[in-house]
Amino acid sequence: MKLLMDMHTHTTYSRNGHGKNTIEEMVNQARKIGLKGLVISDHGRSHPFYGVRKTDFAKMRQEIDALNRRYDDIEIYLSVEANITGRGFIDIEEEELKYCDWISCGYHYGFIPKNIKSFFDFLLPNFLAMLLPFLRPLVRGSNTQCYVDVMEHYPIAMITHPGDKIAIDIEPIAKKAAEKNVILEINPSHGHLSVENIKKAMKYPVCFAVNSDAHSIDRLAKVTGAKEMMAAAGLPNERVINTCPFVEEMK
């Protein structure tokens, strides 16, 4: 499967060696393999090890603007993969939002919760449910509502790997995503959306995207397994906004 645009990639702005290549290196690799668009989406800043520094947003914006001026064969966008930091909260503020073309959000381990209440009503229950899987049904309802609320309160363009590391019900999330024009990601490196959840989500008029979540140039646009997941779910190419309809395989 060939992508037209990879909408979820990380650079060295995901700190401490988490992202391996600079924005410019990622852009040049994207051009080399024929992508027409690239979204740089480093981790939101509430992650104490990987997160983008608040002061980096302006620098990233400048770098991307300069690269867009230099190259006319690719469009580069600045995003951030914000962390969900509590029930209905993500870690991006107006001040940072103004630098981004659009934002995505996802659930990750290791974030700093929004506040003490978020520690007790979101981080801790999900931490316990990770350790003791029989608790997962108990957190599913509030987690689902949390995704619905963040779509209601923030201008989110895409939810990354829904259902990865966290118990959710995809149907209310897909319904809200369709209403708010939020894309649901099929992320083969995380295995989410799962085939089962793609099947449930596609009952609603929601858009999907397939992304690499590359943290280095060698992983850019590599989405091995996505085609099989789509086929198993019966999801047609036309519902995935960033695949190239005429080219079946990456070279």
Give the footprint of Zn ion on this chain (CB under 5 A).
81, 106, 160, 213
Residues 6+ apart with CB under 8 A from 8: 39, 41, 81, 104, 158, 160, 185, 187, 209, 211, 212, 213, 214
Rank residues 17 and 236 by Cβ distance to Zn ion and give the closer one. Answer: 17
Rank residues 144 and 189 by Cβ distance to Zn ion and give the closer one. Answer: 189
**Rounded-to-integer distance, Cα 245 and Cα 204, Å:** 22
User: Taking the complex as a whole, how short is the minimal distance between the CB of residue 129 and Zn ion, in angstroms?
Assistant: 18
Rank residues 118 and 187 by Cβ distance to Zn ion and give the closer one. Answer: 187
User: Taking the complex as a whole, how short is the minimal distance between the CB of residue 10 and Zn ion, in angstroms?
Assistant: 6
Rank residues 106 and 188 by Cβ distance to Zn ion and give the closer one. Answer: 106
Q: Which residues pair with 184 in a beta bridge?
A: 159, 208
**Rounded-to-integer distance, Cα 49 and Cα 43, Å:** 10
Nearest 5 degrees, angle CA 105-CA 126-CA 169? 65
Task: Give the closest residue to 3 by CA, choosing from 26, 37, 41, 40.
Answer: 37
- Could you tell me the two tokens for 162? 């829904």
User: Taking the complex as a whole, how short is the minimal distance between the CB of residue 27 and Zn ion, in angstroms?
Assistant: 17
User: Taking the complex as a whole, how short is the minimal distance between the CB of residue 98 and Zn ion, in angstroms?
Assistant: 22
Rank residues 80 and 202 by Cβ distance to Zn ion and give the closer one. Answer: 80
User: Taking the complex as a whole, how short is the minimal distance between the CB of residue 238 and Zn ion, in angstroms?
Assistant: 25
- What is the DSSP code (8-state) at residue 52? P
Helices 23-32 and 56-70: crossing angle, nearest 10°?
A: 30
Rank residues 71 and 77 by Cβ distance to Zn ion and give the closer one. Answer: 77
Contact 247, 237 (CB under 8 A): no
User: Taking the complex as a whole, how short is the minimal distance between the CB of residue 165 and Zn ion, in angstroms?
Assistant: 9
Rank residues 160 and 194 by Cβ distance to Zn ion and give the closer one. Answer: 160
DSSP 53-117: PTTHHHHHHHHHHHHHHH-SS-EEEEEEEEEEEETTEES--HHHHTT-S-EEEE--TTPPPSSHH
User: Taking the complex as a whole, how short is the minimal distance between the CB of residue 52 and Zn ion, in angstroms?
Assistant: 12
Cα distance from N-terminal residue to C-terminal residue, the chain:
10
